[in-house]
A and B are shown apart, each in its own frame.
Chain A
Amino acid sequence: MKRDVAVLGVGQTKFGSHPDKTLPELFAEAFFEAFDSSNIELKDIEAIYFGNFVGEITDGAANLGGFIADEIGLRGIPAYRFEGACASSSVAFREAYLAVKHGIYDCVLVGGAEKLYSAGTPIGTRALATALDSAYEVNSGLTFPGVFALIARMYAKVYDIPLEKLREKIAHVSVKNHKYGAMNPKAQFYNKFGDLKVEDVLNSRMICSPLTLFDCCPMTDGASAVIIATADFAKDRVDEPIYVRGAGQASAGSLFRQKWDIVKALPRKMSAEMAYKEAGMSPKDIDVAFIHDCFTIAEVIASEAMGFFEYGKGADAVEEGLTWADGEIPINPDGGLIGKGHPVGATGTAQIYSAVKLLRGELDFVKVDAETAITDTLGGDFGTLVNIILSVHRR
């Protein structure tokens, strides 16, 4: 029997630098916020779905499920660790959602933690590169900014936009997301770069041409947590359950094996369509989107693949203001990965944190009226894609 599923409480640490905490300690902070706003007892939580990407490399830590459970006082219950690169906690969320939907559990904890800032840029960059083809891509020194730099040049060619013109257009993603990130007290760049200009993005340090430092999201330490349960369980405990209406996931292999599909982010289209179909919705039913803007160009191609704009028009859309908080489809009004930070394994459930807060009218630093939201999390170079649709409406 399938059951409706809803989010109870959500939690997120401040994103940025947390060298003083272990991954379980950092996660506990996010969990306590989620738990304290869920009106449940510890014994209600039947399992833990935890996302982490590179704990082995940054903290010498694996087998994290049990350590997380123990840290938060839940020693004994099943605790799983999920890895899907930057989409780790979104994969965890989808698995948790499916388990509750299909009657395996009634109430579970989902979340993630990562400490990339504390690892430092060289180790962090190498750790992130483990999400690429280890034999055939990393050997050339390809990095994640490199992947999206390749895609940016392909985008310019395919849609016949001069590269310098494209750089200007996509710089608006950074300007927009830094504006909201500077307003978000939990963001890594809170009170910073709020008045960034297009010229600042173009003239910042080149990382992988044509992408500069401000085209990239930062390295971040952080954690996030979400408690989900059957809708019937949730409605007796919280005033505003946020319903999980659909969840999609798709996969792909090495970047080079995807050929021209990478400009259209084909796995993302598959994942988004799976989520829309389950929700009985189309992109027109979505009021706000939390999209994986690991790089400026990444947000643009995602906004197209998810059906908000025609292919080749996403860069124009951000330049014209259509994706700003007061635009026709607000994208990343919480700052996104660029403004808020990107603690890889915690990013997916942090998107859900912002979406739930916004749908409840509790994201008080930015004004967006929305009843239905979608999240979008990308792991690797399209290897793992997850989309989650959340709504104030049960059906």
Chain B
Amino acid sequence: MFKDFFSALMEGKLIGVKCKDCGEITCPPKSTCNSCGSRNLERIELSGKGKIVSYTVTYVAPLGYDAEVPYVVAMVELDEGAWIVGRLDVDAEKADKEDMIGKRVEVYGKEFPTEQFYPDKQRRVVPMFKIVE
């Protein structure tokens, strides 16, 4: 299931599930509704737009990610209400100088080399956030 999410992301689509009982949108998809736990879900495509809730510039990375530092990890609240984690495609220096919280972003997928512990042994797709004004 997680592979479908990242395959869709690489095709420019952000997918999730909508709960037919309470209306909550869960993204990335989960086996049950993130709000009420219902299994009565339908697959939907989200707008891919949202705003930054928080972020951090990472200077010390885990094994397998060392070559990518410094990088900016961000948490985004999508317009549909779900939150997702990804990377902000701005310079580390800029992110540390300016307050990025609240800025509008658009999501796209980017492929990175996988690493020994990542569940997808072929590739590692990261949701990227591009600032839009």
Contacts and interface: CB of A to CB of B under 8 A. Distances in A.
Contacts of B59: 205-209
A157 to B, nearest CB: 6
B84 interface: yes
Given A129-B62, A207-B60, A150 B126 contact: no
A141 interface: yes
A123 B65 CA distance: 11
Nearest to A208: B56
B131 interface: no
Contacts, number: 116
B57 A136 contact: no
A139 to B, nearest CB: 5
B53 interface: yes
A257 B34 contact: yes
Given A140-B126, A153-B101, A157-B101, A256 B58 contact: no
A125 interface: yes
B45 interface: no
B63 to A, nearest CB: 4
Interface centre among B60, B66, B127 (most CB of A within 10 A): B60
B87 A141 contact: yes
A141 B75 contact: no
B38 interface: no
Nearest to A254: B85
A209 B75 contact: no
Nearest to B34: A257
B90 interface: no
Interface residues of A, number: 40
Nearest to B100: A153
A137 B57 CA distance: 15
Contacts of B71: 140-141
A255 B87 CA distance: 15
Most buried by B among A141, A145, A146, A149: A141
A137 B85 contact: yes
Contacts of B66: 122
B118 to A, nearest CB: 7
A146 B101 contact: no
Interface string A100-133: 0000000000000000000001110110111001
A208 B85 contact: no
Contacts of A140: 71, 73, 85-87, 126-127
Interface in A44-90: none
A354 interface: no
A206 B73 contact: no
Interface-centre pick from B66, B73, B84 (highest chain A CB count, 10 A): B73
Contacts of B127: 140
Interface string A240-257: 000000000000001111
Contacts of A395: none
A134 interface: yes
Contact of B2 (A126, A136, A154, A211): A136
B63 A122 contact: yes
A139 B62 contact: no
A130 B118 CA distance: 9
Contacts of B60: 121, 125, 143, 145, 207-208
Contacts of A125: 60-63
Interface of A: 121-123, 125-126, 128-130, 133-143, 145-146, 149-151, 153-154, 157, 163, 205-211, 254-257, 259
Interface of B: 2, 26, 28, 30, 34, 53-66, 68, 71, 73, 75, 77, 83-87, 95-96, 99, 101, 112, 117-120, 124-127
13 contacts: A135-B2, A135-B28, A140-B126, A141-B126, A143-B58, A146-B73, A153-B55, A206-B59, A208-B56, A208-B60, A209-B95, A255-B85, A259-B77
